[in-house]
Amino acid sequence: MLKLSIIMPVYNGEKYLKEAIQSVLDQTFKDFEFIIIDDGSTDESVKIAESFHDQRISLIRLSHGGIVKALNAGMKAAQGVYIIRADADDISLPERFKILLDYMENNKDVSICGSWADSINKKGEVVGGMEYPPVENKGIKKYLLLHNPFIHPSVIFRKKTISELGGYKNFKHNEDYELWTRVLQKNIGHNIPQKLIRYRVHPWQVTKNNLWKLRSVGVLVRLLALKRYFF
């Protein structure tokens, strides 16, 4: 049985995609399938993905429908017991998969595990550190009521758990946060206090036009978390 599937959604990600894919292929742990889901890109993303001749890679091509559709398509196709998330502009450090998989294999009660991260700029230079997600389950659940307790592209989770919960749902820019509120209602989470990814920070990630929507959906997710935990 295959242990590990990597899912990477991409939409017009040509600028950093080659480096992101290479960081996955360069892992010290080698036995995985790598599913790249193209969400209707109009740039060179598909050509870049197809330029890698590695039998572990499979490319799913979709019409543009957004990241939730892409993530759920990747999850449906995944054959692994565990799924690791990767983004098309981030870098997975070489030991990342081994560390995450070993932790999950040795902690059968844990359903989802993330890590800390370095933050990098558009040149790939480290400009900061992301060490804020709590490590233990109790702290994660408290943190969840006000903040997202996982760095999304750092996580590994058990496919069975997420599939049974219905996967990702459409909560704009908060689809991961909302999913974690469902996962942690009855399951255990953990964060490894090591920087296992380099998370690229873009100045345009949240524009003024969608800032209000991002905040309002975030408030809704927090209210859902409160309801699930206390009512």
Cα separation, 121 vs 198, in Å, equals 10
Find the domain containing 69 and state its range.
Answer: 4-230
Provide Rg for the chain, Cα atoms.
17
E strands, 56-98, in order:
57-62, 82-85, 91-92
Tokens of 189: 């989470």
pLDDT tens digits, one per residue of 138-178: 999 999 988 999 999 999 999 999 999 999 999 888 999 99
Total domain count for the chain? 1
* CATH number (domain holding residue 122): 3.90.550.10
pLDDT digits (tens, 9 = 90+) for 13-26: 999 999 999 999 99
> Is the pLDDT reported for residue 192 higher than 50?
yes
